[in-house]
Structure 1
Amino acid sequence: MSLRLPGSPMEGLGIDVKKFASDASTLFSRAKQYTEEQLQLGQVEKTPLDPDVDVMFRRFQVMQVNLSKICDSMNALVQPNPNLRMEKLVLSKLGSINQKWASCESNKVIDSGNSLGRPQDLSGLESLGSSLLCSSAGAKESNEQLGAILEASGNAQIEISKAEKIYLDKAKECVIGPFKTFLENDAKTIFKEKGILETKRLDLDAAKAKLKKVKTLEGRDQQEKEVRNLQTDFERQQELLKLLLEGTSSHHSTQLRAYQEFIDAQVDYFAAAASHAKSLQANAQALLGSNGSNGFPRRDSQTKAVPVSDIIKTD
């Protein structure tokens, strides 16, 4: 049965009244079944999941939560600045829309002068190195030795920051990349299919509850057929979810490989940083000379403070 509205702006629109009524009845049955289950009204029948599927889904939930936390922590490691992290998150969400809008060359806008005042994407070591190098030029005019120390320190920080960048790039490539792909694809698919399974279970249990209330033989035969069909749909959806959950076990090997690569990259970074730091130390000792430290005010062994008499003493 279709309902049409002649002489109206919706004249060409046909409304399937039976389908509309059926959908409304289905939604009402689901809501009623869900409410009774939550409030535990009467003897509410609830079809249980396959025990294997239930266990696998709980394990998957734990893995999904852990991967989300690890990704968040890795992102904080790669970019400690929360403002930049938020900016990149927003831009990633708008990336697809922006890509379509910027497909025309005339629509591309490049903020090369950073007029929007975005924070600079510099690491702490890189920023420190740049500051030391800038300070060295002015310091050399008044103290050649101090300027040389600042320059050597700045270059060392820059070199360490380069090693750090390689390390963090590796973290993004081997950990954040595959983990994010899993969370945004496989995990979302599993949650979606689990939601569909829950909907089919509600339909099945609502039909079972309705079957108990049917009094006529004809109505019972019709309702039993509906229950069998819904049972088949439920079992088919549960099998699909089971296959998806079984497939998540392959991601364990991906995680193991990611952690191993991350550890190797971290060891390389620490080794490179230690090497540059030792070179800086040797360079500083050479610049200061063997007696360079004797001219500094001594510190008290207990308080670590410099005695006032040493600061104001005159030769």
Structure 2
Amino acid sequence: MNINLPNFNVKNLVKEAGSTLSRVVQLTEEKLGTTERTEYDNEFQNLAERADITKTWTEKIVRDTETVLIPNPQNRIEDFIFEKIEKTKPQRLSNLEHLALGMIEAGGDFGQDLPYGQALIKVGQAEQKLGQCERDFIASSGICFTQPLRKFLEGEMKTITKERGILETKRLDLDACKNRVKKARSMLGQQAKDGVSPEAVLEQAERDLRVAQAEFDRQSEITKVLLEGISTSQASHLRHLHAFVETQVRYYKHCMDAMNNLQRDLAKLRPAKPRLRINSEDVDGPPNTVLLSNIHATLNSNETHEVNEFSDNDDLNNFHTVDINKHNNVNINEHQQNTNGTFQNQNNTTNPFATTQILEQYDIEFDTSAITSV
């Protein structure tokens, strides 16, 4: 059986292994502080630090934004996997949509003709609109904000990181060549070793140093250009941020419109509920309006109190006053001013039984001591 092995260039393999070994030795000596290293200029260091900061914060912004858009971490992991295998993400219902379906089904079971059933259906439909608004917001935010930032991280920033790694390798090669040149110069005047004179060793080390210096300078320029491009990237990130804010504004506006419409619809479905005003304080009355004739039949007091009856529809035209001390449709004057400038009742006799009766007619437990005569 014939096995076709790939053709290896042994010379290049040995050369690469020697370069790797020299880099490891150089890096180890730098860590131990036994050798010098080539430092980057201040401008390059500032650009590199800015790139690191940009990368760190952009990753955090993307991660936090996705957390806001998709709070469930399991769903985020699932979406990430589907993106990697290039398949369509599953269509899942949001929490609002689950709530909407539950309310609509419950309203149907309770009865669409009943007030509670109608209200549940209305609220469920509004929650469905909110869920759709949320779905559109998530999709729009991904297109205009998170996807461009992630593309920057996976494209431009990854390229910068790769080129910086190559530059660091070139720097290690350069420093290793510098050390070999120093070592070769220190061996001048000594006897030849393995048939190679110290002069020849020095000449080869200087030649390698020139090549390493040229490669380092070239890689340094390439990396510097990429680092300077981060300013342009941040300008585009600013535009993406504005687009994200506009998308968020539209989302909350649509949600507000949906809730306002829901509030108006529920107000139309709300049954009229009378209220009592006792001593300028509103209290809820019974579901059905008490006939004024029944009220007058139970009141025997000469004390005058005013009871205002109106519905929650805030219809001022229906607002009227009921005199709880009327008897046989005869009105009694309520107040008159005395000679001292104060207001007193015409008849100071008070019938607490009448007040108790009106409260009982409205099924209200009320402290009668809080009702004062005017």
TM surpasses 0.5: yes
2:4 and 2:133 mapped to 1: Cα distance? 69
Aligned-pair RMSD on alpha carbons? 2.7
Taking a change above 3 Å as real, the CA distance of residues 26 and 174 of structure 1, as seen in their structure-2 partners, is: same
> SS of 1:45's equivalent?
coil
The code of the aligned residue for 1:80 comes to P
| 1:129 equivalenced with 2:63 (yes/no) | no
> SS of 1:49's equivalent?
coil
Equivalent position to 1:91, from 82, 85, 97: 82
Alignment-derived partner of residue 219 in structure 1:
201
1:87 and 1:129 mapped to 2: Cα distance? 24
The code of the aligned residue for 1:200 comes to K
The structure that is helix-richer by fraction is 1
Whether contact under 8 Å (1:56, 1:245) holds in the other structure is yes
Alignment-derived partner of residue 193 in structure 2:
none
| 1:28 equivalenced with 2:21 (yes/no) | yes
Q: How does 1:1-315 map to 2 (within 5 A)?
A: 14-40=7-33, 42=34, 44-95=35-86, 121-140=92-111, 144-214=114-184, 215=187, 216-291=198-273
CA shift digits 1:74-109 (9 cap, x unpaired): 2222222221211111222222xx7xxxxxxxxxxx
Taking a change above 3 Å as real, the CA distance of residues 223 and 127 of structure 1, as seen in their structure-2 partners, is: same
> SS of 1:289's equivalent?
coil
Whether contact under 8 Å (1:136, 1:147) holds in the other structure is yes
2:11 and 2:252 mapped to 1: Cα distance? 70
Higher relative contact order (CA 8 A, sep 6+): 1
The sequence identity of aligned pairs, in percent, is 30
Q: Which runs of 5+ in 2 are unaligned?
A: 188-197, 275-283, 288-362, 366-374
CA shift digits 1:226-285 (9 cap, x unpaired): 111101100100000011111121112211111111111111211221121122122222
CA shift digits 1:22-54 (9 cap, x unpaired): 2221111000111111222x2x11111132121
2:7 and 2:262 mapped to 1: Cα distance? 81
> SS of 1:218's equivalent?
helix
Alignment-derived partner of residue 306 in structure 1:
none
Whether contact under 8 Å (2:100, 2:123) holds in the other structure is yes
The structure that is strand-richer by fraction is 2
The code of the aligned residue for 1:26 comes to S
Count of residues paired in the alignment: 269
Moved more, 21-30 or 71-80: 71-80
> SS of 2:38's equivalent?
coil
Deviation at 1:314, TM superposition (A): 12
Q: Which runs of 5+ in 1 are unaligned?
A: 1-7, 99-109, 111-117, 297-312
Alignment-derived partner of residue 301 in structure 1:
none
The code of the aligned residue for 1:129 comes to A
1:16 and 1:50 mapped to 2: Cα distance? 38
Taking a change above 3 Å as real, the CA distance of residues 119 and 221 of structure 1, as seen in their structure-2 partners, is: closer
Taking a change above 3 Å as real, the CA distance of residues 11 and 171 of structure 1, as seen in their structure-2 partners, is: closer
Q: TM-score, normalised by structure 2?
A: 0.66
Deviation at 1:222, TM superposition (A): 1.5
